[in-house]
């Protein structure tokens, strides 16, 4: 896999392009920060710098993923899932009676999901959490014997497992798809997904700042506007379309896939904003500074990854 | 006792830090080698190890926990952990309950307090859970009087309040498998017994000092 990746000129180009963009945004971020007056605090600039910092980490993770191969990347994404779920479960209220269910979620369900991926047992990988775990969680809470807020507690834990274990595991799952004529190049597909998704988030933000007027759901996310959404989605889709040469798609297919990734990504971050509102926090990272923030960075991927994965699987894998 | 940290203690501290992902904040004071009594809320077996592991290692070597004798002497493993690994000061908390009259209660209490004062010696610090037992984590229970008497007996020792947050969800009372959620530990401003301050007033003030360090709020 390492050799394949190094000999994959298109992957190198794609990666180099991303690194170049990152360097530019790091310099822009630094310049803005140094120009800013000492006493004033500008959350937009800080937010940008935090985001750029996270992208460097994502790039590093991606590079490691390519070097360590299949098992290594599963372990790596497993750890990311684990940390995301840790953030989620810390901030979502649970009761004493949920303790053992939570233990199962962290130490059995989560690792099992990634093991299934390792064994390439797709049928069970796709159904274990929506079916088997769906049945197991309420049963486990019921056995604990506390019926107070039973439905809510079950739903909270189920959502956490779905978002952090199930949805996120579809990102590395892309590495294992067998697309005819595209063997050994799946890393490009992963980079494509993450790049389009992240660009969509940023461009929506930029367009929103420039021409944003009509709020989508101001109660949930005051910064999201229809203008920003349309502008961001269209421009990120254009970027994604231009990258068709790195994917198994034709330019038209690439446009469609990018559009879906952008729309699902926005849906993901809107839903995660609603969850944060419900818990009463602005960012998952703010309350537990130093540890937090993983979930804030991957919120849009949570929805985009599984949809992208299944479309590729059903239309491009015979 | 020696000032060397037992290797098992270091190992358990590292494991506890990993499981609890504890985020330490010195809000009211800085880590210091001076003699202190750290007192905190109690809701989990992890409480002591997490608090202890949050101290710099040279301070850690001189900091001992106060623990209940009846519980920690029950099995050989517990006794080993308490005595050899963590050099705990084991106190017999049942004796005050068994005392027949006020005079005896006074006598027994005095005896326990002397034991703690002796454990402090000239260079040690103590970790103390004044609730006396683990609670559910929702509310801090009333403080036992030991803290007050010890503070009067050793006015030179600083009383540092600390709040351990979320550990009751990581390893609640009665469970033996932890759930790796994140936790917070906040050290507050040192407290003193005011001149003429009544026992109950001081204990309530100490309890409030601990409660005020809560960062996320009740979940």
Asked if pLDDT for residue A4 goes beyond 60, the answer is: no
Q: What is the largest CA-CA distance in chain B?
A: 47
pLDDT digits (tens, 9 = 90+) for A37-57: 665 666 677 777 777 888 888
Is B136's CB within 8 Å of A289's CB?
no
Catalogue the long-range contacts made by A175-181 (C-beta closer than 8 Å, 24 or more residues apart): A175/A65, A175/A70, A175/A73, A176/A70, A176/A117, A176/A120, A177/A309, A177/A312, A177/A313, A177/A316, A177/A317, A178/A317, A179/A248, A179/A312, A179/A316, A179/A317, A180/A318, A181/A248
Give the gap in angstroms from C-alpha B219 to the nearest C-alpha of chain A. Answer: 5
Asked if pLDDT for residue A151 goes beyond 90, the answer is: yes
The reported pLDDT for the residue numbered A3 is: 55
CA nearest to B21 within chain A: A291
Q: Give me the domains of chain B, ranges plus CATH numbers.
A: 7-211 (3.40.1130.10)
CB-CB neighbors (< 8 A) of B21 in chain A: 86, 291
Is A288's CB within 8 Å of B182's CB?
yes
CA nearest to B184 within chain A: A288
pLDDT digits (tens, 9 = 90+) for B139-149: 888 998 888 98
In angstroms, the Cα distances linking A190 to A61, A175, A264, B174 are 12, 7, 16, 44
| Domain ranges (residues) in chain A | 2-316
Asked if pLDDT for residue B217 goes beyond 80, the answer is: no
Contacts of B156 (CB under 8 A, 6+ apart): B35
- The ipTM of this complex is 0.84
Give the gap in angstroms from C-alpha B181 to the nearest C-alpha of chain A. Answer: 5
Give the gap in angstroms from C-alpha A218 to the nearest C-alpha of chain B. Answer: 25
Is B169's CB within 8 Å of A288's CB?
no
| Separation between Cα atoms, residue B127 and residue A235, nearest integer Å | 59
């Amino acid at each position: 896999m390492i050799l394949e990746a190094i000999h994959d000129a298109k992957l190198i180009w794609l990666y180099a392009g991303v690194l170049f963009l990152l360097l530019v945004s790091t310099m822009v971020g630094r310049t803005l920060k140094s120009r800013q007056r000492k006493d004033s605090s500008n959350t937009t600039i800080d937010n940008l710098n935090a985001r750029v910092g996270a992208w460097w980490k994502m790039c590093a993770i991606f590079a490691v993923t390519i070097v360590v191969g299949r098992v290594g990347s599963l372990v790596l994404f497993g750890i990311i899932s684990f940390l995301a779920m840790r953030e989620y479960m810390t901030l979502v209220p649970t009761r004493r009676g949920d303790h053992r269910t939570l233990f199962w979620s962290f130490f059995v369900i989560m690792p099992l999901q990634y093991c299934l991926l390792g064994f390439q047992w797709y049928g069970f990988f796709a159904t274990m959490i929506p079916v088997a775990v769906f049945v197991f969680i309420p049963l486990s809470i019921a056995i604990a014997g506390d019926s107070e807020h039973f439905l809510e507690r079950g739903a909270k834990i189920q959502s956490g497992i779905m978002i952090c274990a199930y949805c996120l595991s579809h990102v590395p799952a892309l590495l294992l798809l067998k697309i005819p004529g595209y063997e050994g190049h799946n890393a490009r597909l992963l980079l494509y997904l993450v790049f389009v998704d992240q660009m969509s988030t940023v461009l929506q933000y930029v367009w929103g700042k420039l021409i944003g007027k009509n709020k989508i759901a101001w109660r949930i996310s005051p910064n999201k506007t229809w203008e920003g959404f349309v502008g961001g989605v269209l421009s990120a889709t254009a970027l994604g379309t231009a990258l068709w040469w790195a994917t198994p798609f034709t330019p038209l297919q690439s446009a469609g896939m990018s559009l879906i990734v952008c729309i699902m990504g926005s849906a993901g971050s809107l839903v995660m904003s609603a969850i944060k509102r419900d818990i009463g926090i602005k960012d998952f990272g703010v309350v537990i500074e130093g540890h937090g923030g993983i979930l804030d960075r991957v919120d849009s991927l949570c929805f985009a990854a599984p949809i992208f994965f299944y479309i590729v699987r059903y239309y491009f894998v015979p | 006792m020696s000032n060397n940290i037992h290797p098992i203690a270091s190992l358990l501290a590292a494991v506890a830090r990993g499981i609890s992902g504890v985020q330490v904040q010195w809000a009211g004071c800085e880590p210091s080698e001076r003699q202190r009594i750290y007192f905190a809320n109690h809701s989990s077996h992890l409480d002591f190890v997490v608090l202890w592991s949050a101290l710099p290692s040279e301070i850690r070597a001189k900091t001992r926990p106060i623990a209940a004798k009846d519980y920690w002497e029950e099995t050989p493993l517990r006794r080993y952990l308490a005595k050899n690994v963590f050099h705990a000061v084991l106190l017999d908390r049942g004796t005050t309950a068994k005392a027949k009259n006020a005079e005896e209660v006074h006598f027994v209490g005095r005896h326990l307090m002397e034991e703690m004062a002796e454990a402090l010696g000239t260079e040690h610090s103590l970790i103390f859970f004044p609730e006396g037992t683990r609670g559910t984590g929702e509310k801090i229970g009333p403080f036992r009087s030991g803290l007050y008497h010890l503070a009067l007996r050793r006015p030179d020792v600083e009383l540092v309040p600390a709040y351990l947050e979320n550990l009751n969800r990581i390893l609640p009372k009665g469970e033996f498998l932890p759930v790796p959620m994140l936790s917070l530990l906040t050290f507050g401003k040192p407290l003193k017994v005011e001149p003429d301050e009544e026992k109950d007033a001081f204990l309530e003030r100490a309890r409030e000092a601990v409660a005020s360090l809560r960062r996320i709020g009740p979940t």
